[in-house]
Structure 1
């Protein structure tokens, strides 16, 4: 999200909205020049003491998705400096979920980006604030440029892929501490949404969550008829890369939350059709909002050892919705931390937040082998 444009802009059909949309499109294009499923792994931008790998993980849960996304997913893995030198040692794992139109490549420093998680971890280790751990970022870039980490016949069962198949692969192939107490889940924007969505359902897999600038929390998430009309102008997934940012996000939400197996080739339903609001689709979207989901998952939320939330104060309505989610946790007596930092926009301080807040959070809460 562009520093000068808030998520609230996405829901307004005014001239200001259109100007903001242009800014969003330019930001997305500049930010992610190499997003997608390219498998080449060039030398990392920042030299590291640890090792980076880019592997492929097959998702049985992603097979047969209606838009034809490859169920073999690129996954970036960071192994800490002592991994090869200490062959008996096992490590906790933090799984990190990237945002919409983004990919693992940027978050792992294969290219210049607003964040480099392995480099942030090594700076924290040098400062003594972060312990050695394994980091994992799956690539969730889809035909609609983001999976929403949801379960849909259109784009696949991403919840199962992350919580079961990805975790299972990492535990089988690396020296992990294969227990929930040694697994954390974190994410930014769409990834923050995915962290809360998956984390509140799977405390059997992850013990600690940290959601940065989590998008899409509110049940009133609904674009106007003009925005949906632009999305409806897309008649095939192959046209999505050329669409503007708003059109992409509307289609991604619909593919994730209102899939339609009987409406090829997009296989989704939109909240407006023939000039009329579709209350059934609106209700389906609302049912996928964490501010609604949390009330159905209170027992699971209570099982989590730690929940961290943050957002930049200028990142509205994300900051307000993050605060509302924290207030919901507090109402149920569920322990958590929340910080609305000022100044802060959607991407302006993420690298520093990862280094100084997110990774120390997991270092202090996950179970280590020593």
Structure 2
């Protein structure tokens, strides 16, 4: 019996089927792999702040603002989008988060990775440049820094609503930030439920009164060694943070050249200044704003377990909100102050706002 004869037709059929499959896969890529997400666009604009005019630091009231527009924004001209206002940390700027200069996180890339993996919906992201003469505004109202709280909550939001296709309602606005930006998020957000409906705090700093301010001899010596703006430029991180905090929370319009009162003078702690600082700690003021916080659609906060003092402070925040029976999400994860922030934004923050912001006008 001729076995070659009876096997030749099946073999030819198999060969034809394989060839057809290869052809289809090569000519129709969408069948063999998911289509890549188109990139969004980033605009860096100037937004004038009347609230910032005349600040004693001498910072320009015309602020850089980075705006991320999602992939469909330029194509679908009738579509409107929710907006997340993202506040950067101390010594950072918007440029360091949006790839305009040396950066440790490229926020647009993080957003687009999340979109590609189906972990969020398209939204506009807005970050003002809060880098100041003293390396950070603390997002507070002060004659020395300017009224940053008002600038973010009122002027910036109004400008973005006027010039971009937003959904101009609180239900479609979120506020988030890292470190100093996390502090700004709770500080501003708890005062303005009529503007923002959802808050996410990433490793928020400065939540509790700093009991050690003005009491550490080495830190005091470094602070008191600063006599000129040039001295401050060369100072360590902690000293810079002390001056930024003083500019925001204990301004003094007659005390040149820095126009602030420090928590220490001639080696002695200054109780009045320390009291002003304590009054600006969110965990000290939160009970005043509980009725506002109850109006929020959603609140979330997290910190790395190696970021000890901040992890401890948000645990207190968790306890306060729990006592008031206010729903929220709290997580302590394995990490430090900066090493997993991009992952947290991709995996948690964008999904949080996708789940809680209104993507249509009139919805809550």
TM-score bin, normalised by smaller chain: 0.7 to 0.9
Aligned counterpart, 1:367: 358
Choose which of 342, 348, 361 in structure 2 pairs with 1:351.
342
How many Å separate the matches in 2 of 1:70 and 1:221?
33
| 1:250 corresponds to 2:236 | no
Aligned counterpart, 2:27: none
| 1:228 corresponds to 2:216 | no
| 1:237 corresponds to 2:237 | no
Aligned counterpart, 1:304: 296
How many Å separate the matches in 1 of 2:63 and 2:245?
21
1:68 partner SS: coil
1:310 partner SS: strand
- Per-residue CA distance 1:255-313 (angstroms, 9 max, x = gap): 11111111011011111112222111110000000111101111111111111100000
> How does 1:166-315 map onto structure 2 within 5 Å?
166-223=156-213, 224-315=216-307
1:75 partner SS: strand
Given that 1:106 and 1:113 are in contact with CA atoms closer than 8 Å, whether structure 2 keeps it comes out as yes
More off after superposition, 142-151 vs 231-240: 231-240
User: What is the TM-score when the length of structure 1 is the normalising length?
Assistant: 0.85
Given that 2:220 and 2:267 are in contact with CA atoms closer than 8 Å, whether structure 1 keeps it comes out as no
Choose which of 92, 96, 114 in structure 2 pairs with 1:124.
114
Aligned counterpart, 2:34: none
| 1:104 corresponds to 2:94 | yes
Aligned-pair Cα RMSD in Å: 1.4
Given that 2:68 and 2:108 are in contact with CA atoms closer than 8 Å, whether structure 1 keeps it comes out as yes
More off after superposition, 232-241 vs 289-298: 232-241
How many Å separate the matches in 2 of 1:263 and 1:183?
39
Q: CA deviation at 1:221?
A: 4.3
Given that 1:222 and 1:282 are in contact with CA atoms closer than 8 Å, whether structure 2 keeps it comes out as no
How many Å separate the matches in 1 of 2:59 and 2:78?
38
Instruction: Structure 1: give runs of 5+ residues left out of the alignment.
Output: 1-46
1:317 partner SS: helix
How many Å separate the matches in 2 of 1:351 and 1:313?
16
| 1:64 corresponds to 2:54 | yes
More off after superposition, 160-169 vs 324-333: 324-333
More off after superposition, 110-119 vs 247-256: 110-119
How many Å separate the matches in 1 of 2:211 and 2:65?
30
- Per-residue CA distance 1:188-238 (angstroms, 9 max, x = gap): 000000001001111111000000000011123433243133222222334
- Per-residue CA distance 1:109-142 (angstroms, 9 max, x = gap): 2244332222111111111111000010100000
User: What is the TM-score when the length of structure 2 is the normalising length?
Assistant: 0.86
Q: CA deviation at 1:340?
A: 0.2
- Per-residue CA distance 1:60-115 (angstroms, 9 max, x = gap): 00001111011100000011111111111000000000000001011112244332
What number of residue pairs does the alignment pair up?
323
Given that 1:114 and 1:350 are in contact with CA atoms closer than 8 Å, whether structure 2 keeps it comes out as no
1:358 partner SS: helix
Given that 1:184 and 1:207 are in contact with CA atoms closer than 8 Å, whether structure 2 keeps it comes out as yes
How many Å separate the matches in 1 of 2:52 and 2:229?
17
2:339 partner SS: coil
Instruction: Structure 2: give runs of 5+ residues left out of the alignment.
Output: 1-36
1:167 partner SS: helix
Aligned counterpart, 1:135: 125
How many Å separate the matches in 1 of 2:177 and 2:168?
21
Given that 1:146 and 1:252 are in contact with CA atoms closer than 8 Å, whether structure 2 keeps it comes out as yes
Given that 1:260 and 1:269 are in contact with CA atoms closer than 8 Å, whether structure 2 keeps it comes out as yes
How many Å separate the matches in 1 of 2:208 and 2:291?
21
